[in-house]
Amino acid sequence: MASVGGRLDGEARPGAAVGLDPALVDHLIREHSDKCAEYTRLWAYYRNPVTHAPRLGADGMSRSVRRLAQEAGLPGRVTGVRGDALTDDRHAERREVVIENDIAWRVHTMIDFLFGKQPAVVSTAASEAQRDLIDEFVESVWKASGGLALLQDAALIGHVYGHVDLVVRIDERAMNAVGRRAAKLRESGASIHAMRGLMREAGRAVRIEPVAPERGIPVIDPGDYRRLAGYVIHYEREANEVERTGLVRRLTGRTRGEWGRSRRIESYTEVFTSEGRELWVDGELVEKNERGFAGGDLPVVHVQNLSQPLRYEGIGEVEPLVPLQDELNTRLSDRASRVTLQSFKMYLKTMIKCLYCRFILHNNDYCTTIWVHCRR
């Protein structure tokens, strides 16, 4: 895979064509990669996914080990894992593990409360005809962007990570075509019905896209933390291409009739500034727009869940709940272990009592009656 900063042979690199220092872009991307581990932990606590890993049992047979993400917060005396996640449970003395994901239902409840239904955006223009056209355009933009699903996705990202960025994308070719048609309709005195259809078409050329903090990297103005000097979207994605087979396998003849076993991974880097936009894929510049957004503003809207003083990042709902979730899971697991152990002790005590009665009264006529009573 190409380097994060693009090619290093003196040619263009991400950010140079739109007024950003390429070295700064490269530094921000590398610094952001260190923060992604914390973002991944927050998402894992919310989602609590299940992982299955092979394990070799005492009988030499391979078995599947089931682990939940929130088990990472349990003490070793509960999970029985003190170093290796694949340790045999019987050797590690694993106890009863109980996980109750309180974080997920809290987040889902808040999202349902906020966006149980799509809010209505109504124009307050003085002219009735103008109000109808604006309402038609806004409604078309929301539908093209996902409608209610867009708001729920943005709320979910904001609740988990603390903030969410919304990027506005415009299909310039479609918008220019709509503008030319609108000019002709105004000259010919077209009806309001025809103009409303044109507004619906213009709205479909605009799309609002939520960006998670795992991908979005703000370039903050040094003089004002509330202003952005630029914005970078960087992540790795699976390409629609299978990985090429290595040279060694080709020479040994092991690749006859076979393709690679995994999809190729490529880096995606998109840079926004007031001067334009760049798109880089695997260190190669594939798109460039030097005209910038309307009015010279960045097409990025930043929304915080709870604001932090003098900070770009917001406060999420998951991070404060992580210690409480760990304590709840620990208490539930300890209680389940005690209940299991007490049940085993009661069963063992009953069996010992029954054996004792049978041994003492073996020649007595009441032996059978006492045996049945103890078994019950």
- pLDDT, one tens digit per residue, over 128-170 is 888 888 999 999 999 999 999 999 999 999 999 999 999 999 9
pLDDT score at 180: 86
Mean pLDDT, the chain, as a whole number? 80
Residue 17 in this model has a pLDDT that exceeds 50: yes
Of 316, 289, 165, the C-alpha closest to 231 is 165
pLDDT, tens digit (0-9, with 9 covering 90-100), for 334-346: 888 777 666 655 6
Report the distance separating Cα 154 and Cα 312, nearest Å: 17
- Give the domain ranges of the chain: 16-48+101-245+259-316, 50-98+323-375
Phi and psi torsions of 179, nearest 5°: -65, -40
Range among 42-51, 173-182, 183-192 with highest mean pLDDT value: 42-51
DSSP 191-214: -HHHHHHHHHHHHTTEEEEEE-TT
pLDDT, tens digit (0-9, with 9 covering 90-100), for 338-375: 776 666 556 566 655 555 554 444 444 444 444 444 44
pLDDT score at 353: 57
Whose tokens are 């709870």? That residue is: 306
Q: Judge contact between 208 and 145, C-beta under 8 A.
A: yes
- Please state, in angstroms and as integers, the Cα–Cα distance from residue 128 to each residue in 124, 135, 137, 195, following that order: 9, 11, 14, 13
* Structure-block tokens of residue 82: 């003190």
Residue 299 in this model has a pLDDT that exceeds 60: yes
pLDDT classification of 64: cutoffs 50, 70, 90: confident
